Structure 1
Amino acid sequence: MKLLQSHSRLFHYLTLTCLSVIIIFAVRGCAAGSTPLVGSSLLPSDAVSLLSFKSKADLDNRLLYSLNERFDYCQWQGVKCAQGRVVRFALQGFGLRGVLAPNTLTRLDQLRVLNLDNNSLSGPIPDLSGLANLKSLFLDHNSFSGSFPPSILLLHRLRVLDLSHNNFTGPIPADLTGLDRLSCLRLQSNRFNGTVPPLNQSYLLIFNVSDNNLTGAIPVTPTLSRFGTSSFQLNLGLCGEIINKACNSSRSPFFGSSTNATSPLGQSAQSQGIVVKEPPSPRKHKNIGLALGFSIGISVLIASLLCVFGLVKKQSTQEKGSKQPMSASSDAETAYPPNPITETRIEEMSELPKRIPEVRKVQKSGNLVFCGGETQPYGLEQLMRASAELLGRGTVGTTYKAVLDNQLILTVKRMDANKTAVTGSQVFEHHMDAVGGLRHPNLVPMRAYFQAKGERLVIYDYQPNGSLFNLIHGSKSTRAKPLHWTSCLKIAEDVAQGLAYIHQASRLIHGNLKSSNVLLGADFEACVTDYCLAVLADSSSNEDPDSAGYKAPETRRSSSRATSKSDVYAFGILLLELLTGKHPSQHPFLVPTDVPNWVRAMRADDGCEENRLGMLTEVACICNLTSPEQRPTMWQVLKMIQEIKESVMVEDNASLGFS
């Protein structure tokens, strides 16, 4: 009996020893780079996935992974866990060399962030559909190849996708609608070909497909229209309105007529509406020469007959010795000669006698109508010769930066016929004369306007420091938190000054206040622009997504008109955008009592005093009351902000010991 017990104990001891040796060798083998058995129950599944990745992607053994305890992998380089599961794996710039093998990291089904940028990984991207919770994927600055990974289209929670600076080839998928939460998409510096997909992701803020082999017209969608030429550059085959490059023939960004490809704003003849035809082929030269010679002969004969007739008529007039007074019509034609740019002005000559007293209040240079009696050193022809840079598209048209020959820089808004309501020329001129007469330090001055058949331009002073939208949001690397409280107060006062002046100095309203319509002047003062143009917008046209969040409840129906109280509402939304750094599309639906807590949460690290923050937040809440009758006027809002400013100055002086 004792012998049997001794053998049994020896058997159990040997069994445990063997199992221990197997576990030790398995763990050491994984740490040394061998591939662990995925189906093994000896290791947690996430640890197996990480070690499997290391065995294929870390050929130089740069990752010092070792597993002595069950959850040691949560302490490994680049790994972050939540409740024992890997939710973040970031190894940017580790010099990894190898491949991203299938069934390795792709089994981390709780992973939210995967960042492998700036390494030397190569080969195709495996099936990533198992990463159902992934929100951010950074694979840029590697040597990955193959086509766009189709499994990415199944990652419906993805917000950031960066595949830039690799060797991907083939087309970009035309249907990216499943990735409707994307806020950043970078695909530049690859070898993608085909066309640009018609992206319409409303959250997309960063987009770049430059330096590829893309061709064809860029789709004009609300999303793609937000991005400038830098997002598409170094794709020689791309064309379209967004990059100011015509697909068939060059077109002026200011006028729709054909223009010379070497002149961004067109030559004078073409800007006058003259159709420039293609030169005749060499086969037709002989026939054209004969026809031209015959035409010249006929022209000379007709000219001779006209000269003779003119001399006879002149002699007859002198013999009569009569001098007739100039009629009102002829006087009008002398003071306002027919415009060669369009036949529309010729048709309106009959209206000129009624308009002369009104029109003579402004100065004309070429065919531009200058506001406020100002004389400007440029005319329409100079404007058409200027170089143009697209600045953006808005509710009523497209805005350009124009640099004239004399280096004068202007901002030119070309009104889109598809976005503006049909108004008569007199109505338009009367409205623009009223708007052009507004002058205030916090308004971008409107200098001139132009209208012809199907074309309307508005010219402003150029503001060198960009928009408030760029200042608030900018890039995520430079704008990590909201603006300083004192900056918010200063900008709020400037904008309130400009709006209050519009409401008091005229019966006009802004109608389209938003952060992109507040520009920063030479001294970084906030100046309101695009004021009083929304009344010209066609209410039936598509809603500008950037403006929707600023609209007051009573104006959200297409038939409703904006009022001064809806301007107050938009100002309240703008004030919350200033305080939180969040675009109106990101504002949660809150009852007024919860707004202060939300603002404080967005400024958790600001360190500003509670009472100062609370006072401005209270102003925003009053402006955003649902009932327009309960909202204050802009003058009352301005007074509130100035009182806050005064109280802050008193407190600061008291703290410094000043009476």
Structure 2
Amino acid sequence: MPKTNSKALLPLFFFFFFLLSCFSEPITYPPQTNLLLPSDAVSILTFKSKADLDNKLLYALNERFDYCQWRGVKCVQGRVVRYILQNSGLRGTFPANSLTRLDQLRVLSLHNNSLSGPIPDLSSLYNLKALFLDRNNFSGTFPPSIFFLHRITSLDLSYNVLNGPIPANLTALDRLNILRLEWNRFNGTVPPLNQSFLLIFNVSGNNLTGQIPATPTLLKFNTTAFSLNPNLCGEIINKPCTSRSPFFGSPSASGPLGQSAEAQGGGATTGGIVVLPPPSSPKKKHQRTGVVLGFTIGIALIIFSVLLAFALVRRQSGKKSVDSKETKPTTASSEATNSNVGNSKTQVEEVSGRKLVIPGIQKLKKSGNLVFVAGEVEGYSLEQLMRASAELLGRGTMGTTYKAVVDRQLILTVKRLDACKTAVTSGEVFEQHMDAVGGLRHPNLVPIRAYFQAKGERLVIYDYQPNGSVFNLVHGSRSTRAKPLHWTSCLKIAEDVAQGLAYIHQASRLVHGNLKSSNVLLGTDFEACLTDYCLALLADSSSTEDPDSAAYKAPEIRKSNRRFTPQSDVYAFGVFLVELLTGKHPSQHPVLVPHDMLEWVRTMREDDGGEHHRLGMLTEVASVCSLTSPEQRPPMWQVLKMIQQIKESAMMEDSA
């Protein structure tokens, strides 16, 4: 047999391969099956395929690690650790086996989209610390897989259409700082939560029943956390749980069926079988019906007579008050527009029947209108604002703050500036200053919407922030001893506040001038937002103030009554950061060198969970901000960079 020359077959082999490649179509793989893509990129693209039906996320992958630059994605060493797509217009479902494969994920936020369907199994996200799925259309029951997320500290499932009971084993999530489940359709009872770290809690707007457990953790929260659950009761909401006896018959008459013969109408029992009595004759039934009907009509007549007498008495007393021409305002009704009230020299403010009573309302209407800033739409008038139901929120160094509900739907915060403290500023200067301040827009600033001024009256209108202030978060709203925040919460709040201050300093020549924990509010996403910013320049700096507010002032401001500067804001930020870390009021902070300050902070925290290194870095930032010499303090943008470096370092350590 002749031998075959292998070298002669090589050209034939290459020719055959060339023909095959020319006539065959290229093989393509869908993103979710392309083995060349990193697994994290595949997970995100799988999620997008079902959750982004309107193609809002324009993801494109040209290089291996391009996905780390996609919208909402944050990577550490090539792995996704944060995926934040809040307010992104997503519409679709949350598919299983998509984002749940991101095993290094720490933060997942799909807040305020239009995602629907059930929440998938999340148990594989064992590193997850914060989960925000609120303000979507998720349905089904409370996802049980969350109980496997033992590192989670923040959980928000509010404003969905979840149903079923709230699980009692929420106590397994012992590291929770934030738990929000309001405005779903949950039923059942409130679980006896005992997490010492729980700082924010809300189950309002569900269908919960029964007594609220009076645990030390739940006692920290006020009635709003349980509101709009009409069948809840207990010490926390000041509603007794005692059952009322029926109007007719004994309490035992309403017992459960088959419980006893007496409980169901007087029958006897024989051998465990209920023997019902013979039916009553029609004549006896008519007699009983007549007695009940007559009794009911009699009660109704008595109630009607009492109400009629009360109305007559009230009408006569009203006539007497008109005849006597009494000028003292008692309600926020039309009497408050009386000209005698408008001529009152003494300004009196009170909350009466949850109505804002401001003497001189007629004068306000004639002397000016609300001035809307930064192109704001004039959605309401001064007259509507004066008619709004109002609630006193507090009194501060600059004036009094109210929560106002306009036409039962729009909620605003109205700050009434103290006339004595702002009297040094002319009307024209006030307008120019408010136009400049009103133009500031940043996610960590509570936006100013409008302002008003007349003779002796100045109002500033803000958006209402529903979650209170950092002061209440740190020090608690009750007399119980507050525990310092977890260091991650301190870091998050510090970064938000630093962002807001750095923006004010860089976007304008203005300064905050009144930074303190009560002027840092928590927004809808629990972001820290500055309020009362840039108003201190309008006030008389020589006015007296409380010790805590004075402790925020830099030494150079205290000694010479100088105007506030960016360096004085940095000093106040250092005091604020120490307050966050220790839970102590600023007036209780000792004057210590940086090393001793760290030891004092650790002592005040008692147990920092072994986070000595990270705690030390935050304390060092507070110390350098609080230096006596203003020239030695870093600018605010540099302080922000220091905090962000601490966060990056912590994320790197957690992912290692």
TM-score by length of 1: 0.46
